[in-house]
Amino acid sequence: MKISNPVLPGFDADPSMIRVGDTYYIANSTFEWWPGVRLHESKDLVHWRLLPSPLDRVSQLDMRGTVSGGGIWAPDLSYADGMFWLVYTDVTIVNGAFKDGTNYLVTAPHIEGPWSEPTRLNGVGFDASLFHDDDGRKYLVQQTWDFREYHHAFDGITLTEFDPESRTLMPQTARRIWRGTDVKVVEGPHLYRRNGYYYLFAAEGGTQYEHQESVARSTTLEADSFEVMPNNPLISNFDTPDSYLQKQGHGALVDTPGGEWYYASLCARPWRHDTEPSHGVRGWCTLGRETSIQKVGWDEGGWPFIVGGRGGSRYVQAPRDAVRTDVPQGNSGHDEFNDPVLDRNWNTLRVPFGAEMGHVGGGRLTLRGQGSLCNRHDLSLVARRWQAFTFDAQVKLDFEPHNYMQMAGLTNYYNDLCWSWVFVTWNEKTRRRVIEVAQNDFNAYTSYLRDDAVPIPDDVSSVWLQTCVRTDRYSYRYSFDGIHWRQIGVGLDAAILSDDHVAQRYGGFFTGAFVGMACVDLSGYAASASFESFDYRERDDGRSPSPATGER
């Protein structure tokens, strides 16, 4: 079998990978999206099954009002003493000198739970991981944030001993174990033991095109005791602009039962407009930061290296002892909304789906109108990740607005600053329902149809809405019978929904594009919209691989 990278396509960043017996697990960041932390499992590193999220109740994670790009940063999954341990950071500020964040710990006897209520650890820095040493002692390893303007903000890697009995840290043991290299921006640390050494894997260079994973080692855990790997970085694409995978770094190391080694890292697949030079513009990553897996070897000096070169490979040989994992193929999906709970592929923003937002079951998803798509407190939006460069998504909508402040439709969404949608609303001049297309680009709001908004005939009760995404451009269509479709003459630049576009003006550029359904009622009367038969269908454009993932 071959690993086809990315193994987790579409916004699955900051992977923390472990093995328990013959099963591998990956935990990924979710930031402001609910539920918190994505979990996948596999027995072959090729096919991955989506598991229930461990943070599924507000008592574990309360993100109402959290800024975009805040929320869950770089969770760390580990297994020791017969249970799973999950450390995660909840960040509330992303711009400016401060990165206010709190690190928490939850545990579970099984990967699917039940997961405990959180234990508060500290706020020293984000990207915290828990290291279980061979002698039974435990340590929290974390990036250290320095808000002072006369210091570099990334102040090395701090290690603090953790008391598992009281589940508290011992602040008096805290010490910096590694400053990082001159590349700077050291974060995402993980510690491992091998052949008498402590190996520290950490990301550097920021999480864009200069991103890399660096390695250092020491025979002790004393302060500033780690030496840098001579041939750093372990993995990076800063000098491979033509590679299929970009931005690789920030990940985790795992060994197989047969003694092979693999490294899971975040990655991205940028595209460029036809008018942009191949090396002048690194590209636009609408699918966000994804997860790739590379094979690792060890040289005579005991240092790790990426098999095939530090730029990584699109296709990688699976472990010799892999046990094939049977999961549904591909990422296309259809939902008739028959179940009384949302499918695992669906996400909401900051808070769980509940009565304030609407209800699901019996063949429909009903959304109750709340705030605008810019709202960070009360928003009725249900969406799923873009997982391919080209796809069509459509849904049937029943909605009876009574004023122009009531809107419901299909959205392509990055964050509260950058999104667009096709929606049904009310035109007070013609006194009838209409279809409009609008875009929000860093709060520059544009209504594209205005007086030419598409009128909905009075005898039409249902409207079908569709988006057609074609790598660098996307558009919207509508139908009054679900069979005959009409194109809306508005072509939108997909780059606006990319990490790279958002990063130009905002610090929280860590997620990726989503497609989904939303209902807004700014007049405050909670008008409801009914959605039926959502369909997400990927198209093969010859560029995007179709990894075998088992999301359900």
Whether 12 is catalytic is: no
Residues 277-315 as b/e (b if ≥16 CB within 10 A, e otherwise) read eeeeebbbbbbbbbbbbbbbeeeeeebbbbbeebbbbbe
Active-site residue identified among 44, 127, 187, 416: 187
Could you give the CA distance from residue 478 to residue 190 in angstroms, rounded to a whole number?
Answer: 49
CA dist 447 → 272, 420, 437, 451 (Å): 26, 10, 6, 10
The edge-to-edge listing of strands for the beta sheet with 549-550 is 16-20, 23-28, 38-42, 48-50, 549-550
Residue 467 buriedness (CB in 10 A; 0-12 / 13-18 / 19+): buried
Residue with tokens 């709202």: 375
CA dist 181 → 185, 228, 256, 550 (Å): 9, 8, 30, 39
Give every CB contact of residue 284 below 8 A, 6+ residues apart in sequence.
270, 271, 272, 472, 494, 495, 498, 500, 501
The one-character DSSP state at 299 is: -
Residue 112's CB is within 10 A of a number of other CB atoms, namely 13
Extract the tokens encoding 302.
């005991």
Extract the tokens encoding 248.
């690789």
Extract the tokens encoding 281.
């513009």
Active-site residue identified among 12, 14, 41, 472: 14
Whether 356 is catalytic is: no
CA dist 141 → 21, 145, 398, 505 (Å): 25, 13, 51, 31
Residue with tokens 């530090």: 310
Residues 317-331 as b/e (b if ≥16 CB within 10 A, e otherwise) read ebbeebeebebeebb
Which residues are part of the catalytic machinery?
14, 187
